[in-house]
Every structure is written in C-alpha cells, then in structure tokens.
Structure 1
Amino acid sequence: MLLYGRNPVLEALREGRADEVLLARGVEPAFTREVEATGARVRWSSRIELDQMVGTTQHQGIVAEVADLAWASVDDILDRAESRGEPLLVVLLDGITDPRNFGAIIRSAEVLGAHGVVVEERRSAPLSPVVAKTAAGATSHLPVAQTKNLPRLIDQLKEENVWVYGAAGEAAQDLGRTDFSGKLALVIGAEGEGLRRLVREKCDALVRIPTRGQVQSLNASVAAGILLYEATRGRTPQ
C-alpha cells in the first residue's frame, strides 16, 4: 500500500513499517531532517510524479510503501481497556462509508482516549491510504476492528455491562445531561441516513447534540468528536 501524508508516513517509519520514502524536491530542510532522523532511505522525486503515483495532490510531499493496514479484533479493544484499568470506551460506526469521515473519527477517538473503533464489515469504508492520511497517524495507535453484525455485537457488549448510546439528532435526551460514567459504547450513523432501525432499537438510549444554528445536522466525524469529548469529561478508571 502506498501511504502518504506527513504524520502517517512518519508514524510508519518510527514503527519500522517502512524503510524508504519518496520526498518531493523542495520540501523544507527541517522536515527532511525529521525524516532522515528515523533512519529511512530518502529518494527524491518531483511533486508531479508523486501526484501520479498516489492519484492525489494531497500527499504533502512524502510517499512510502508499507504493508496494508491490518484490522484488529473486538477482543483487542476490550483487552486494551482492561490492561489499562479503564472503563471501556469504544466507538461503533454504522454505515460510515466516506473514508475521510472514517479517518477523522479514528483520529478523534485516539486523541480523546477511546480504546478502539468498530465497523460492520459490509457497511464501512476500507482501511485505505485516504483513511490513514486523514487519521494523521492514529491508525498506528488505535485498534480498528470489524464485526459481521453490529446489532449482535451491541447485544454482546450489553451482556458485559456496557452502556450503549446512539447519536440521533431527533433524540429527546440532551448530550449534556447524560451520564457517561462506566463502560460505554458510542454509536455513530451514516450522514443523511443516520442509524439503522435495528441498531437504534438495540441502543440503551439515543442522545442529541444541542444545536443553535439554522443547519440542524453535523458532519458525522464532527458529531463523533463532540460525543467523545463529552463522554471523556470526568471519566476515571474503575
């Protein structure tokens, strides 16, 4: 897989997932030194050649070939919370097929302390270079797992005393008046469609983000970031 973008490629170099990079001629010397400090071999190329190689101009002047991103398992996420002695915080995605939204949610989840992200196999964008670029390196630090059946997974989590909140703009329950202590799963639906009926019914509660403007809906990744921030405020290890 061709990985591009400064943060994701630097993370891959530091983890030993790549040992050679293509740099665009003219990138600033300070960034070149940062790349060389990882021990990677540097090959120089033109920006046009990099554009053609990755099919976008958004590579930020750096490209590396790495192994495809690997899916984690749901158990990896549960074990991560347990090993840290923290109440589980996991993000479940129901039909997020836009890779930039997917990557942005992974980034927010990692930054705000979630233990992982789970998607349904047939209703998600793949783990692609676009996802990795948008996640800005977070895919190297946060488990991202697949499940065959999201409603069934929600049932399994509830059996483990995980409280499941779904995001819905029309919900009566205000985000700011919701108890986010304990084990928690946040469910984010697709833009436009929202949560599927069965997924909605499986949630313990639906919550809304209060809005004041004329536009009543938020981008899925923005909504996920707000929910995660609110959920992590005041949470303490069990």
Structure 2
Amino acid sequence: MQGGRGSGRGSSGSVRLWGRHAVEAALKNPERRHRKLWATREGVASLDGELPDDFPVEWAQPADLARLVARDAPHQGLVLDCDPLEDIFLEDVLDGDASRPVLVLDQVTDPHNVGAILRSAAAFNACAIVTQDRHAPPESGTLAKSASGALEVVPWVRVVNLARALEDIAEAGYWRIGLDGAAKSTLQGALPAGPVALVLGAEGDGMRHNIVQHCDAIAKLPISEAMESLNVSNAAAISLYAVATRVIDASEGG
C-alpha cells in the first residue's frame, strides 16, 4: 500500500505555524520536532502551560512577527518554526470503529478549506482524512490556523493513488459514500450501520469520474433549492455530524 506525505515541503524542510491555537497544539504534540519560537511575552503568557527552560525562544515585537508570516496573518504574538509531521499510512488508521468515519478529499486544494475540514474531523472524531499527495495543500501556517489545532490531532494520510486507497478502504470494511448534489439519495438514507468513508470532491468540479466509480453509493445533503451548493468544508461538517448522530441513535435504539 502506498502512502506518506512526500511533497509540499519547503526547501529547508520546515513548517512555519502561527496563532495561539495552532502553535499551542504543535507545542503539545510529542510527534512534532520544534526548531524555534518567535514570540512576544504576551503571546507566551497566553499559552496553556509553560515552555521548558531550554526551549529556543526569540523575543520579538508584533511588527517583527508580522514579517515572518503571510500578509495580514493574525499571528497573536506567536510564530513557530518546526519540522513537518512524520508520514502516516492508511493501514495505520483503518481500525473499523463504526463511530469514527474516514474522510476522503478528492483534489480539495484550498488550505483554508482543508484546515476547516480538519477542525470538523477533530470535532466529530473522524479517524483520518485521506488526500492525494499531488492534489492537496502542504502543511502550512495558513492551513494550521484554519484547523485551529486539529492538524496536530487528526491523522492526515497522503497517498499516491486515491482510487487505490479507496479500494483499500473498502477491503477494510468501510462503506464508501460520495457526496454529490445531483444524487437521488440523501446521505441519511445511504448511511450504513457499520464503518463509513465519506468522499468529497473539489468545489465546482466535484469528484472525478474514477473516484465516483470507486464509491459504493452516491448521496446528497438535503439543502434548499434556493442554494445550489455548499462550501466543501461546510458539507464535510454536516456529513460528519450525520455520521455521529447515526451512531448515537443506533446505540440508544433510536
């Protein structure tokens, strides 16, 4: 099985994160190797917990930090330089727990959307997100800020071949549901009792034909005709909620 992060890293191999939630989560993540923290004293004071005495910190003014991040990025007095997270492979996350869906993203490339999807995945206890390596954004400060700390807690599997990954997901016992606004069935009607993988495509283009062919069912969210479609991150959040409430209803006999 092929997987791994494999691309999207800068020439120095580092990732620069900013903002309290993203930096705090990275500092608490034992899987992160931290290189250096640029910070204001107020920024460090806002963190939950204290930094080790030997942690590499360079004190700076807000204007100095602004020059280290994307234009107008809300750094909140914290900028962290760290190594990318280690590779995570598909077989490491497919545990078959029906309450923990897999989220598969087909060519969703906007870092704000992927970050927001990671945040929803963390909120609704998804076991992982899966993307194709060449058609997904790299780890970045923009993505991590949108994820609000979820980048550090939700496994992100990057694969070479998304269709092959969907085959592996099916072999692990997951029912693969592709989300498409033109589908006849609603998501609620398509949800199985067992493990589920939700597949979402890029806004506008949707899922590619080959990815649709690797789904067990195609379903839609029952939105009003007054709106043509939802942002992909909103659709992901609603779909994950539908899976979470399905599990609760089953456990309560509803």
Q: Which category of TM-score, normalised to the shorter sequence, fits these structures?
A: 0.7 to 0.9
| Counterpart among 14, 37, 43 of residue 21 in structure 1 | 37
Distance 1:115 1:37, change over 3 A: same
Partner of 1:62: 78
| Counterpart among 123, 127, 135 of residue 111 in structure 1 | 123
| Counterpart among 196, 208, 211 of residue 199 in structure 1 | 211
Partner of 2:162: 150
| Counterpart among 12, 19, 32 of residue 45 in structure 2 | 32
- TM-score (structure 2 length as normaliser): 0.82
Alignment deviations for residues 185-224 of structure 1 (CA, whole Å, 9 cap, x no partner): 1001001100001111211111111112522111111100
Partner of 1:51: 66
- TM-score (structure 1 length as normaliser): 0.87
Unaligned 5+ runs, structure 1: none
Q: 2:244 aligned with 1:232, yes or no?
A: yes
CA contact (8 A) 2:35 2:83 kept: no
Distance 1:15 1:221, change over 3 A: same
Distance 1:56 1:76, change over 3 A: farther
CA contact (8 A) 1:23 1:45 kept: yes
Q: Considering only aligned residues, what root-mean-square deviation do their CA atoms show, in Å?
A: 2.4
Unaligned 5+ runs, structure 2: 1-14
Partner of 2:91: 75
Structure 1 Cα separation of the partners of residues 198 and 86 of structure 2 = 23
Distance 1:134 1:71, change over 3 A: farther
Q: CA deviation at 1:72?
A: 1.1
Distance 1:104 1:133, change over 3 A: same
Instruction: Identify the range of structure 1 (139-148 vs 39-48) with the bigger mean alpha-carbon deviation.
Output: 39-48
Q: CA deviation at 1:136?
A: 1.1
Partner of 1:2: 16
Identity of aligned residues (%): 32
Structure 1 Cα separation of the partners of residues 225 and 66 of structure 2 = 39
For 1:66-215, list aligned pairs within 5 A. 66-78=82-94, 81=95, 86=98, 89-212=101-224, 214-215=226-227
Structure 2 Cα separation of the partners of residues 13 and 159 of structure 1 = 36
Structure 1 Cα separation of the partners of residues 195 and 100 of structure 2 = 5
Q: CA deviation at 1:8?
A: 1.4
Distance 1:180 1:38, change over 3 A: farther
Q: CA deviation at 1:89?
A: 1.5
Structure 1 Cα separation of the partners of residues 185 and 47 of structure 2 = 48
For 2:243, what is the secondary structure of its paired residue? helix
Distance 1:157 1:35, change over 3 A: closer
For 1:34, what is the secondary structure of its paired residue? coil
- Code of the aligned partner of 1:8: A
CA contact (8 A) 1:88 1:182 kept: no
CA contact (8 A) 1:180 1:231 kept: no
Q: CA deviation at 1:145?
A: 0.6
Instruction: Identify the range of structure 1 (11-20 vs 206-215) with the bigger mean alpha-carbon deviation.
Output: 11-20
